[in-house]
Amino acid sequence: MSRGEKTTADVVRVVVGDHGVRGHGECVPYPRYGQSVDGVIAEIESVRPALEGGADVDDVQDLLPAGPARNAVECALWDLGARSGRRRASRLLPAHTPLRPLVTAFTISLDTPERMAAVAASAAGRAISLLKLKLGGDGDPERVRAVRAAAPHARLIADANESWSPEQLSSFAPVLAGLGVELLEQPLPADSDDALTGYDGPLLLSADESCQDAASVAGLAGRYAAVTVKLDKTGGIIGAMATLAAARDAGMRTMLGCMVATSLSMAPGLVPAQLAEFVHLDGPLLLARDRHPGLPYDGARVSPSDAVWAT
């Protein structure tokens, strides 16, 4: 990963029950936003009385702020509602929108050009057609060149994770565009977004750390042409749908992304991902061991499954 080597994924799981039926949700606290497992658990415990009193997905929007705690609780309640025969999260989609399998980007972590190229070649051999490259600053053009040579037919997107300077963006963007990179996430630190005002370079820029929820979209106009939406940022499916709608209204393109987590985190994301132009829900593919049962992946094609999470 661009933020350093990661060997474990710390997740928080929420289980809610009603008359013997259980719903499950999962979230990933992110230190970049000052979050911790203990802090998220404390947030969840703070709403236990309301949940035991019958709070539903709509109530949770007011009980918790946008973020991972609300995401896990809301998704658990959606899962419980579907398994209880009340309402499914897929009903949030526009009428007649099918819940269909989607092609997810597959992440190649930041490494030497040679090692990234080897992963890309392996992915191409498994018919994975969309690669997401984690970048980190110096040497990034060489990394992308190596990946392109190893996977000449793959579609490429990239994530700089706030690691570039404005000068690097100016220098690297034409190279990456020439190599077929379709989208670049968060090249500059979020607090340096002013440097992107009026950006008209060759790369489609997507706001990740700069886009937390629907309310943050308006401030991105004129700087980014796309937003990266994650349930752990928006606080669940309802917030994700609102953020996607705000981006579309602003004429921006969209990606539905994820943290490194299990199928229990990916499954709810498949609902708003039906409306996104780019999909990045490959968390389980990066784990040595997923939850059982896990979502069905065929290469990078992922399908909904009520066995994992009732949609």
Active-site positions read: 134, 230
Spatial separation of the C-alpha atoms in residues 263 and 225, rounded to whole Å? 29
Distance CA 145, CA 43 (A): 44
List own/partner pairs for 162-167 with CB under 8 A and 24 or more apart: 162/186, 162/187, 162/188, 162/189, 162/190, 162/209, 163/2, 163/135, 163/136, 163/137, 163/187, 164/135, 164/137, 164/140, 164/188, 165/137, 166/192, 166/195
Three-class SS of residue 56?
coil
- Distance CA(136)–CA(247), nearest Å, equals 27
- CA pair distance 295, 310, nearest whole angstrom: 12
Q: What whole-number distance in Å separates Cα of residue 241 and Cα of residue 229?
A: 9
End-to-end CA gap in the chain = 30
Q: At what angle do helices 68-83 and 237-249 cross, to 10 degrees?
A: 110
Rounded to the nearest 10°, the torsion over CA 290, 184, 204, 225 is 70
75, 25 Cβ separation under 8 angstroms: yes
Going by C-alpha positions, the residue among 249, 282, 248 that lies closest to residue 265 is 282
On whether the CB atoms of residues 113 and 145 are closer than 8 A, the answer is: yes
DSSP reduced 3-state for 121 = helix
* Nearest Cα to Cα of residue 161 among 142, 135, 140: 135
Tally of CB atoms within 10 A around 305? 16
